[in-house]
Amino acid sequence: MLGDWGTNTLPGQQTAVAEAMRRWVGLHRLKIDALMMLGDNFYGPMRGGVQSHRWNRQFEEMYPASVFPGPAYAVLGNHDYERFFGNKVEAELAYAKAGSSRWRMPARWYTVSFPSNDPVMTFFCLDSNLPGTKSMDFIRPWSFEMSRAEANAQDEWLQGELGKDRPGQLLAFVAHHPLYTNGMHGDNPILISRWGRLLTEHRIAFYISGHDHDLQHLEFENRPTSFVVSGGGGAELVGWRTPPGRRGPFGARALGFTDLEIRQDSVLVRHIGRDATVLHSFEKRLALARKGFSSRGSRPVTA
């Protein structure tokens, strides 16, 4: 999983993280089932849309199928919501629809389950570009966001999906913007009021996002959800709004990515730095998570 990777100004940083991903897979002889692209997939102009050379250079060749043979499930970030020599949201949907790539975005919101037969975990891949979330980049004339009608349609769909019976499964929300973050964008009151209660009511185990260019893990007392920020895919690093020492357990201003491994009886989440070493990891045990547990259900593990 990685967010904020499609930089158009710092290609060396995207390449460094992609190399770390390849090293990580090679060192541990991993079989990667899927990639999760956490938004801000393409910063800046995207001339040619589906024909843009950026698809090959920054996705197909950057994360090669020889190492990452599985599908790459993508959600949309604020920088994808730009009409920059073409509508990047439409280009990303169309590239998936063309069907000749590992790129997957069947819609702006969708679910995906692992393993596909008899799944133990379902990811609700969401569009967090809700009305009012544009903050500072809304001043750019090419920038746009979801309409109220679209946001309502997504929530209606989400309620329906959450109402489906998925016995014994662990659930995760995946979206670009975090609800809670120590990074420069700060906590997002729009998302907190819209989705915060759902996370607790439906005992969502993970909320996985990017947007702040760092790696974080936040836990809150009496909340079932572990909040994971993985925005170190390549774009420029920035500072903290809240010192990570004050609210954690973890925050690093670092390039990197996140490995999520579904094990026999637990899910292991590891933040990996550009040198392919583990910066932070934690584990949620399936039995506890299924029953519904407090944030104490997640415990740090040694790398």
77 binds Fe ion (CB under 5 A): yes
CB of 297 to Fe ion, least distance (A): 29
Are the CB atoms for 34 and 103 separated by under 8 Å? no
225 vs 39, 79, 286, CA distance in Å? 21, 26, 13
CB of 166 to Fe ion, least distance (A): 29
Burial string for 187-206 (b: 16+ CB within 10 Å, else e) reads ebebbeebbbebbeebbbbb
CB of 78 to Fe ion, least distance (A): 5
By beta-carbon proximity to Fe ion, the closer residue of 121 and 179 is 179
CB of 196 to Fe ion, least distance (A): 20
78 binds Fe ion (CB under 5 A): yes
Interface with Fe ion: number of residues (CB under 5 A): 4
CB of 243 to Fe ion, least distance (A): 21
By beta-carbon proximity to Fe ion, the closer residue of 52 and 133 is 133
Which window, 70-78, 84-92, 255-263, 290-298, contacts Fe ion (CB under 5 A)?
Answer: 70-78
Which window, 29-37, 135-143, 198-206, 210-218, contacts Fe ion (CB under 5 A)?
Answer: 210-218
CB of 19 to Fe ion, least distance (A): 23
Structure tokens at 208: 């996985």
Site residues for Fe ion, 14-53, by CB under 5 A, read 40
Which window, 56-64, 72-80, 247-255, 271-279, contacts Fe ion (CB under 5 A)?
Answer: 72-80
CB of 256 to Fe ion, least distance (A): 16
CA gap 237, 252 in Å, rounded: 10
Residue with nearest beta carbon to Fe ion: 211
Which window, 49-57, 84-92, 138-146, 203-211, contacts Fe ion (CB under 5 A)?
Answer: 203-211
By beta-carbon proximity to Fe ion, the closer residue of 5 and 68 is 5
By beta-carbon proximity to Fe ion, the closer residue of 40 and 214 is 40
By beta-carbon proximity to Fe ion, the closer residue of 24 and 195 is 195
Which window, 138-146, 205-213, 238-246, 283-291, contacts Fe ion (CB under 5 A)?
Answer: 205-213
By beta-carbon proximity to Fe ion, the closer residue of 211 and 271 is 211
CA gap 264, 169 in Å, rounded: 13
Among 108, 194, 211, 284, the residue binding Fe ion under the rule CB under 5 A is: 211
By beta-carbon proximity to Fe ion, the closer residue of 194 and 211 is 211
CA gap 174, 10 in Å, rounded: 25
By beta-carbon proximity to Fe ion, the closer residue of 41 and 78 is 78
Residues that bind Fe ion (CB under 5 A): 40, 77-78, 211
